[in-house]
Structure 1
């Protein structure tokens, strides 16, 4: 958006709010601020070394490498692309906040890798991410839209990434959380989930504003493009999921979780769900873990995330109804 008016550079004025949801989202995101360095990931080393098989450790490493790739995409290209289409300065500020937290998310996975693995393993895992055909397909598909799409197409791509594509990776730590394993790693993921809940609903809300300004024909054309994109991403995601989870027999459960979250992504944008899957179809252990409440496992030092963040809950989707 233009930052000058009659030759003057315009200062952001938070006392003049064009959209109350910009202010509410800014306040929510700043209340939720956290850093990975305050979570005692090393407390999970016993679980990692003694309770998880090598196949399970490989799975954790690969899903986190995939999540790192997607969060890097969001922080380096996604939010910059969306910010170019912001309609006011407060929206730009919110997107700046989101961009920074996506960098925090990506860095958090490196903290997990560094705590649990040796350097050779970390290098191998990142090589896997950089060359995996299914992971690279979805990253490049989304990035191409960020580079060449319309403002509304870019918002669709971002919501699909935030609210759908991340979840093939989130399933693993939530599953272990439900079985009382890797609790501190899971706390990092729950903090990321809490952020992504706000990111997806906020950008979906901004999509709805623009979508309502289109003619009926333009809406129908964009909806056709949106569902075609989702089908394409879903087909690729099933291949990625099978590659990751077939060995442990989890693929069908993860697929239900993905379809459920694909519907949530569509609903964030005010669209009808595509798949029949509901929360009742998802593994209840994982659904329990997806709760955005936090816990404090570091009772002695008092620096766990529950202590630092206080009682902060993600914004409800209904907050973004327009």
Structure 2
């Protein structure tokens, strides 16, 4: 006889972090169609061909990674959830990753011609360095152990995205492409929750391992990070050498690699901290967003008010050895 199908009961929750994360994510809900990207056209036309090429390519790369996260990442992680509530949170994350991926196409359709868009996706789908990191992460999603998949997800969301995020944050700091950057800031706000939540779930499983297993696994984590960072150096040079930003972007990447490790409960690897990052970009990385009247831009009088900004400490989880 088949077992009864179980209805999810949000009044009986094993882990209150699931409920808190669900509420945070639903508070933060947004759609790219509510942001007036066409207001950035004058700024876009003022950029050099070289600068426009970099913006287009970084968004192509970000589209690829968000496609990976929405199509394979979350479905892979959902196979190993501890509860129905955790699966519900993962469903929310999966949908928002699809929103993120679509958002870049909204940017393309506003700023780029159809032939330029075709060129962007051709470049994205065939660039060896970009494809290396996508395939490296996806191979873990397809073949890795549950904890390995969580590490891959945290590294993707808290580290690998940031070589692309640097560009719109840089232009925001120079008073250009404000609405494009607003989408990035909304994505950043989501990713900060995703990375810390999945990092928290990783820590629950990691703390159940023996000391020997923990040490072996930690070595695997750092080896993966070294491999991804080495590839990211190549990707960053490919994008930014021509405008002289490579070293600044690498500093930004190392800073965020450290944050990814901290989300997993590990010590930072690199000496870089927030003070070393370009202050113009660091100012833009704030998870607060502008108070755009998003809905009135599309003919609706509803005002989307400020969503409470998430501070760096909101999603820091600490565990004792007993837990």
* TM-score (norm. length: structure 2): 0.95
Contact 2:203–2:264 at 8 Å: present in 1 too? yes
Give secondary structure in 2 for the equivalent of 1:102.
helix
Aligned to 1:86: 81
In structure 2, stretches of 5+ residues that fail to align are: none
Give secondary structure in 2 for the equivalent of 1:84.
helix
Contact 2:169–2:281 at 8 Å: present in 1 too? yes
Deviation at 1:308?
1.6
Deviation per residue, 1:196-255 (Å, 9 max, x gap)? 000000000000000000000000010000000000000000000000000000000000
Aligned to 2:106: 111
Question: For residues 20 and 140 of structure 1, do their structure 2 counterparts lie closer, same or farther at Cα, with a shift above 3 Å needed?
Answer: same
Contact 2:153–2:198 at 8 Å: present in 1 too? yes
Aligned to 1:231: 226
CA RMSD of aligned residues (A): 1.7
Question: In the TM superposition, what are the counterparts of 1:175-214 in structure 2 within 5 Å?
Answer: 175-214=170-209
Question: For residues 300 and 101 of structure 1, do their structure 2 counterparts lie closer, same or farther at Cα, with a shift above 3 Å needed?
Answer: closer
Contact 1:260–1:275 at 8 Å: present in 2 too? yes
1:143 aligns with 2:143: no
Whose relative contact order is higher, 1 or 2, with alpha carbons under 8 Å and at least 6 apart?
1
Contact 2:295–2:304 at 8 Å: present in 1 too? no
Once residues 18 and 44 of structure 2 are traced to their aligned partners in structure 1, the CA distance between those partners, rounded to angstroms, is 41
Deviation per residue, 1:10-69 (Å, 9 max, x gap)? 0000000100000000000000000000000000000001x2100000000000000000
Once residues 74 and 23 of structure 2 are traced to their aligned partners in structure 1, the CA distance between those partners, rounded to angstroms, is 18
Contact 1:12–1:90 at 8 Å: present in 2 too? yes
1:269 aligns with 2:250: no
Question: For residues 204 and 292 of structure 1, do their structure 2 counterparts lie closer, same or farther at Cα, with a shift above 3 Å needed?
Answer: same
Contact 1:268–1:317 at 8 Å: present in 2 too? no
Question: In the TM superposition, what are the counterparts of 1:251-262 in structure 2 within 5 Å?
Answer: 251-262=246-257
Deviation at 1:292?
1.0
Once residues 308 and 232 of structure 1 are traced to their aligned partners in structure 2, the CA distance between those partners, rounded to angstroms, is 42
Question: For residues 8 and 300 of structure 1, do their structure 2 counterparts lie closer, same or farther at Cα, with a shift above 3 Å needed?
Answer: closer
* TM-score (norm. length: structure 1): 0.95
1:281 aligns with 2:294: no
The correspondence for 2:128, drawn from 130, 133, 136, is 133
In structure 1, stretches of 5+ residues that fail to align are: none
Aligned to 1:243: 238
